[in-house]
Structures are given as C-alpha cells and as structure tokens.
Homo-oligomer: A and B are copies of this chain.
Amino acid sequence: MRYHLGWVDQQGEPQAGSAPLSLQPALALASCEALGGDFRNALPVAASVELIYNFTLIHGDVQAGRADPGNRPSVWWVWGPAQAINAGDGLHALGRTTMMRLAQNEVPAEKVLRAVRSLDMACLTLCEGQYMDLQFQDQMMITTAAYMDMIGRKAGALAACAAESGALTAGAGDEACAKLGQLGMKMGMAWQIARDIDDFWGERGDGMTPSNVLNKKKSLPLVHTLENSSVSVKRELGSIYMKRVLETDDIAKMIEILDSTDARQASHGKAQELVDQALAGLEGVSGITREGMDTLADLGQWAVAGGR
C-alpha cells in the first residue's frame, strides 16, 4: 500500500518526492473552506477519499493488465495479481476506517454516520460504474448518454462524496451539502473526460497511455466520433475494433480518425461545460465565500486540464 501511494520504493525504502494531488481530496478541503470551515476538519474526508481512489487504481491496474500506469511498475507487476488484489482490498478498508476519524475532530456521531454512509454509497456506485466501463469494452456502440451515466458513477460519485462531506465538516446545512455534492459530481466527470483525452493525446512517451485504448475502453473521444461520423468512418473504426488484439499502428490510425472528427475539442468542450455548470450551481448557496468560489473555480480548471 505504501509503495502504491508513492511513499516507499519496491524495497520499502522511503522515497523522495510527494505523490501528485488527486481531485477528490482537493475537493473535500476546498468545499470545507468555501463554506467557512477550517480545512483541517476535513482532513479525514480528504484522506479517506484519496485512499478509496487509490484502491480503485490498484484494482484497475489488475483489471486492465496495466504494468506501468505512471512512472513506475504497478503493484501487480511487482508483487503479482493476488497480492495486488489484497493490497487494494486493504486500502478499501483503510479508506473507510479513515472517515471514522471525523469523530476525533469533534464531529457529532450523527454527522460521522452521514459521511460514512455517503462514502459507502459512493463505493457501491463506483463499482457500478466500473462494471459498466468493463462491459462497454465488449460493445462497439456506446451512446454519449450511456458514457455520461458510466462516468457519473465511476468518477463522479466519489468526487461528490468528497465535496459533500467536506461541506458537512464545515457545519453546512443539508441544502449547501447537497449543492456541493452536485458540484463534486460534475467536476469528477470533467476530470474523467480530461483523462480520457490524455489516453489518446497525453504527454506520456509517444503521446499515449496505450493500455486503456488497447483494452477497447470506450472513452468520450471515441464515443463522440462513433456518434458523429459518416458510415465509412464508423466502418473504419469498427474494422479496427473487431480485431482481437489492437496494435500500436491501430492506435495511430484511430487517433487520425478521431482528429478528423474534432473529437478532442468536442470532449474538452464537454468537460468545460460540466465545470461551468458545477460553478453556476453554487450561486445562492448560503454561507459560501467569494474566495471559496474562486478556489473551486481554479480546481475546476485544474480538473479540465486533467489535474496538471
């Protein structure tokens, strides 16, 4: 677990450098502050959602057979799939336990239970999203609506829980918490779209993180192209996807087709639209500070940029 979180290397020696910030914990802290709370009260929420997010990454690497998800080998590549599944299970349990630490921050039991319940529902929902994502790999035609439903569960639910629970720790009322939850949902979806874009045009090596694409994952650029292209372009993409195993040449061809339908710009536009909606939803939330709205707007732009 420590290795995956970037704290130690494969030999268990402490590793220099800090792990990159994820959207979910940032949302928890920013939502708390935006509603006039002290971000320190939201640290258990932030740590909790970060651990849960990382459990999904460890399992996701096994599920996708990703050997090298970032700048170093994945847990299963180093310790085998069995130990990786178990390490993910451990982070899942640890993430939930961590939410209970809210009780140490003088948060009353009723509110702790509410945050815990929100996290539980988010965990269930993200499994639903992951189910759909895996299922979509075997299907060719996925609509934008189905895709949006899937990422709402897979990526939106945990971000919604983060923002909602962050607001809760600021002592916000039900309506403000719900509004922040809606913001988190939309920002989480925007962030997922930004990552989809990175899968095709990202900065890694030759400009791709190929395994998501090779797994026939249905990302928004692809869904957009399938919905908005001529029959001949659809056929071309279909003939690539009908192959049992995709190769690097196929990906170059796919990117060429996606570029011809403006898939990148359209996807980016969708992400921006979600963030705009998210921020518009904050108007009139009682107790929200001007400064807090600015911070959340910055976070939205950061999400649209894929967390860079």
A124 in the interface (beta carbon within 8 A) = yes
A201 in the interface (beta carbon within 8 A) = no
Q: What separation, in Å, do the CA atoms of A87 and B124 have in the docked complex? A: 10
A282 in the interface (beta carbon within 8 A) = no
A59 in the interface (beta carbon within 8 A) = yes
Q: What separation, in Å, do the CA atoms of A127 and B134 have in the docked complex? A: 25
Given contacts A85-B59, A85-B85, contact A120 B134 (CB under 8 A): no
A113 in the interface (beta carbon within 8 A) = yes
Q: What 0/1 pattern do residues 103 to 122 of A give for CB contact below 8 A with B? A: 10000011011001100110
Q: What separation, in Å, do the CA atoms of A100 and B115 have in the docked complex? A: 12
A63 in the interface (beta carbon within 8 A) = yes
Which residues of B have CB within 8 Å of A293? none
A92 in the interface (beta carbon within 8 A) = yes
- Contact between chains at A90 and B120 (CB < 8 Å): no
- Contact between chains at B92 and A103 (CB < 8 Å): no
- Contact between chains at B117 and A100 (CB < 8 Å): yes
B63, B83, B113: the one contacting A134 at CB < 8 Å is: B83
Given contacts A59-B89, A86-B63, A127-B86, contact A97 B121 (CB under 8 A): yes
A93 in the interface (beta carbon within 8 A) = yes
A-B contact pairs, 23 of them (CB 8 A): A59-B89, A63-B82, A63-B85, A64-B82, A83-B131, A83-B134, A86-B127, A86-B131, A87-B131, A89-B89, A89-B92, A89-B123, A89-B130, A90-B131, A92-B123, A93-B120, A93-B127, A96-B96, A96-B120, A97-B120, A97-B124, A103-B113, A116-B116
Interface residues of A (CB under 8 A from B): 55, 59, 62-64, 81-83, 85-90, 92-94, 96-97, 100, 103, 109-110, 112-113, 116-117, 120-121, 123-124, 127-128, 130-131, 134
